[in-house]
Chain A
């Protein structure tokens, strides 16, 4: 400070600041000599103090504004003051909007994304697949074996091997538990999902898990996930339709599984054929039955009609017959003979032999009935 007057210009502002109270005395004593230097100094001081003032205001403003932060619409936040959450219970949660905090070491803010849905995939039970293969759906080559820890799979209740994977979506329902109780809740949920797949596979047989009862398998995975999430109080909600499970037989046995499906289909086709045959047979039988019944009704009707007509005729003929039976008989006989003889194809009359003996006739009957019979009278 003593050398201040000697080198007024070379002094940097901070040094001037400390020397500031002295200039009034110096000004009186050394007015003549140091006039120019003092002038410069006081000017420098004035400008410095202005800068400092502006800086101070700016700093205070910056301090206040640096404490403003926003909580985004899909988040909640917790303010930690000296490491401790501010507020009690649900009051700890800051809603979306503008909030204020003290600068860092005192206050800190943890933002928790509660609004969005988070997705976890379990591929521990799935075959190793490169992203390109997964995109194109290409499957690995059969190798005759699976390597534990490399090719993921699960063991089914009947001791078979199947691939199983799952996707699960969840939302954070209890942000305080989710954030303050679990260093990596995502990781834990992943383990829970892997475990649920192993658990579900262990109690289903391969056919059920793969085809027949896939839905029930999925439900088992789901309820296991619920149970574990509840038990460990992870603070998340898994929606029922947000657990999706996919199962596949290993590539080594895929063909065998396809054969089964084919055989099942063929069996179904055979049964369907039989069913359509059965429908046809029943319909035909009903048709035939109605023909039989119709015929019976027709012939019974005609029988009744015929008999009635005959009876009627008889009743009419009876008085005439009774009047002269012999004549009546002859007349009817003659009518009949006339009709019969008109219809007959061959008529042979054998007169009485002169010697009074009987004629001997030989008939040669040919087989086909449609050809008229041939009689050869053979005079002895």
Chain B
């Protein structure tokens, strides 16, 4: 009896599992599912959880990841409004939002979906045709329309995928912004030229600035010395003014003062290497006059 029960339970459980496999399926939180009956759409499941179904040949279930997926477009060459060629690639963030449409459009194949996204992305890039190169790259922040261009591209892809593929594009960003290969050579040449200009600017700036500093320093030094000279004059002037009070003393007897000054001048001027030729009238040599008269007449 016991064995019989065990057998029954075991086979019951096995049967239940088997039936569950045939008649139910589950949809995970990260998925959406579509159920088809004899190949024709019957319902979509967007809520996670447990679901009933008819067994395989009758109903078939397709599961799709409903999380955000990323797609990177190939690089494409485009021309801006001012006739400058650019090579650009973008990324898209998209997700399956209508599993029925998604299944019908791509037979549930993500690779096929991405093949469709490629031309959509390329079309969106052509938004660039209505902008100038300077709108995309510029050092003038006010002029830059990078965000606006991205937004317009995003709107373009959204418009193209709105109601026909069962997927929604939720973000778009420029991934790479390059130039056609041959243009890079020209850019290199220009960059070198710019550097050369900078080199000469820096060199002459250094020279000029250096000279400027030197000239300023010289001027400042001269000013300092001139100032010192002026101060020196003032000091001497003041001293002379003070000396004037002593000169008042000399006023008492100008004759003596003159005489003393003369004497001083004579002493000063005849200090060194002086040669004197004295005439007979020069006092006190006039004393000698008589004697010489006699001697000279005798020598004659």
Q: Which of A3-11, A129-137, A186-194 contacts B (4 or more CB under 8 A)?
A: A186-194
Q: How large is the interface on A (under 10, 10 to 19, 20 to 34, 35 or more residues)?
A: 35 or more
Out of A21, A157, A253, A361, which one reaches B138, CB within 8 Å? A157
* Chain A proximity mask over B174-197: 1 for CB below 8 Å, otherwise 0: 111111111011011011101110
Contacts of A153 in B (CB 8 A): 178
Do B29 and A180 have beta carbons less than 8 Å apart? Answer: yes
Whether A99 sits at the interface, judged by CB under 8 Å, is: no
Whether A206 sits at the interface, judged by CB under 8 Å, is: yes
User: In the bound complex, what is the Cα–Cα distance between A198 and B75 (angstroms)?
Assistant: 14
A80-B195 in contact given A155-B177, A345-B274, A346-B275 (Cβ < 8 Å): no
Contacts of A260 in B (CB 8 A): 195, 198-199, 202
Residue of B nearest to A191 (CB): B91
Contacts of A322 in B (CB 8 A): 253
Do A303 and B236 have beta carbons less than 8 Å apart? Answer: yes
Whether A372 sits at the interface, judged by CB under 8 Å, is: yes
Contacts of A187 in B (CB 8 A): 70
Do B188 and A82 have beta carbons less than 8 Å apart? Answer: no
Out of A202, A257, A351, which one reaches B144, CB within 8 Å? A202
Do A292 and B275 have beta carbons less than 8 Å apart? Answer: no
User: In the bound complex, what is the Cα–Cα distance between A31 and B205 (angstroms)?
Assistant: 125
Residue of A nearest to B25 (CB): A83
User: In the bound complex, what is the Cα–Cα distance between A56 and B5 (angstroms)?
Assistant: 13
Do B228 and A352 have beta carbons less than 8 Å apart? Answer: no
* Chain B proximity mask over A327-368: 1 for CB below 8 Å, otherwise 0: 001101110110111011111111111100000010000000
Out of A82, A256, A289, which one reaches B50, CB within 8 Å? A82
Do B236 and A289 have beta carbons less than 8 Å apart? Answer: no
Out of A124, A202, A314, which one reaches B249, CB within 8 Å? A314
Contacts of A377 in B (CB 8 A): 277
Contacts of B277 in A (CB 8 A): 348, 350, 361, 375, 377
Whether B271 sits at the interface, judged by CB under 8 Å, is: yes
Q: Count A-B pairs with CB separation below 8 Å.
A: 375
Whether B97 sits at the interface, judged by CB under 8 Å, is: no
Residue of B nearest to A156 (CB): B137
Out of A80, A105, A184, A313, which one reaches B70, CB within 8 Å? A184
Do B170 and A232 have beta carbons less than 8 Å apart? Answer: yes
Whether B279 sits at the interface, judged by CB under 8 Å, is: yes
Do A194 and B27 have beta carbons less than 8 Å apart? Answer: no
Contacts of A270 in B (CB 8 A): 206-207, 209-210
CB distance from B114 to the nearest CB of A (A): 13
Q: Which of B54-62, B116-124, B219-227 contacts A (4 or more CB under 8 A)?
A: B219-227
Do A206 and B276 have beta carbons less than 8 Å apart? Answer: no
Contacts of B16 in A (CB 8 A): none
Residue of B nearest to A299 (CB): B236
Whether B3 sits at the interface, judged by CB under 8 Å, is: yes
Whether A237 sits at the interface, judged by CB under 8 Å, is: no
Q: Which of B99-107, B157-165, B286-294 contacts A (4 or more CB under 8 A)?
A: B286-294
User: In the bound complex, what is the Cα–Cα distance between A252 and B189 (angstroms)?
Assistant: 9
Whether B22 sits at the interface, judged by CB under 8 Å, is: no
Do A263 and B188 have beta carbons less than 8 Å apart? Answer: no
Do A271 and B210 have beta carbons less than 8 Å apart? Answer: yes
A314-B177 in contact given A52-B6, A300-B238, A373-B273 (Cβ < 8 Å): no
Do A202 and B91 have beta carbons less than 8 Å apart? Answer: no
Out of A253, A299, A353, which one reaches B192, CB within 8 Å? A253
User: In the bound complex, what is the Cα–Cα distance between A228 and B222 (angstroms)?
Assistant: 63
Do A159 and B275 have beta carbons less than 8 Å apart? Answer: no
Residue of B nearest to A300 (CB): B239
User: In the bound complex, what is the Cα–Cα distance between A183 and B71 (angstroms)?
Assistant: 12
Contacts of B272 in A (CB 8 A): 343
User: In the bound complex, what is the Cα–Cα distance between A85 and B28 (angstroms)?
Assistant: 8
Do A354 and B3 have beta carbons less than 8 Å apart? Answer: no
Do A307 and B247 have beta carbons less than 8 Å apart? Answer: yes
User: In the bound complex, what is the Cα–Cα distance between A202 and B49 (angstroms)?
Assistant: 47
Whether A175 sits at the interface, judged by CB under 8 Å, is: no
User: In the bound complex, what is the Cα–Cα distance between A349 and B216 (angstroms)?
Assistant: 64
Contacts of B65 in A (CB 8 A): 183
Residue of A nearest to B93 (CB): A188
A205-B236 in contact given A274-B210, A340-B274, A351-B292 (Cβ < 8 Å): no
Do B27 and A83 have beta carbons less than 8 Å apart? Answer: yes
For window 240-285 of B, CB contacts with A under 8 Å fall at 240, 242-243, 246-247, 249-250, 252-253, 255-257, 259-260, 263, 266-267, 270-280, 283-285
Whether B15 sits at the interface, judged by CB under 8 Å, is: no
Do B137 and A269 have beta carbons less than 8 Å apart? Answer: no
For window 67-81 of B, CB contacts with A under 8 Å fall at 67-70, 72, 75, 77
Whether B231 sits at the interface, judged by CB under 8 Å, is: yes
User: In the bound complex, what is the Cα–Cα distance between A153 and B75 (angstroms)?
Assistant: 13
Out of B212, B220, B222, B288, which one reaches A351, CB within 8 Å? B288
CB distance from A316 to the nearest CB of B (A): 11
Contacts of B225 in A (CB 8 A): 285, 288-289, 292
User: In the bound complex, what is the Cα–Cα distance between A259 and B274 (angstroms)?
Assistant: 72
Whether A62 sits at the interface, judged by CB under 8 Å, is: no
Residue of A nearest to B69 (CB): A183
Residue of A nearest to B235 (CB): A296
Do A352 and B280 have beta carbons less than 8 Å apart? Answer: yes
Do B184 and A145 have beta carbons less than 8 Å apart? Answer: yes
* Chain B proximity mask over A95-126: 1 for CB below 8 Å, otherwise 0: 00000000001001000000000000000110
Contacts of B89 in A (CB 8 A): 149
CB distance from B103 to the nearest CB of A (A): 18
Cross-chain pairs A/B with CB under 8 angstroms, 13 sampled? A82-B26, A144-B188, A159-B133, A183-B67, A191-B173, A202-B144, A253-B195, A263-B202, A288-B228, A314-B250, A332-B263, A351-B293, A377-B277
Q: Which 3 A-B pairs have the closest CB atoms?
A: A267-B206, A300-B239, A296-B232
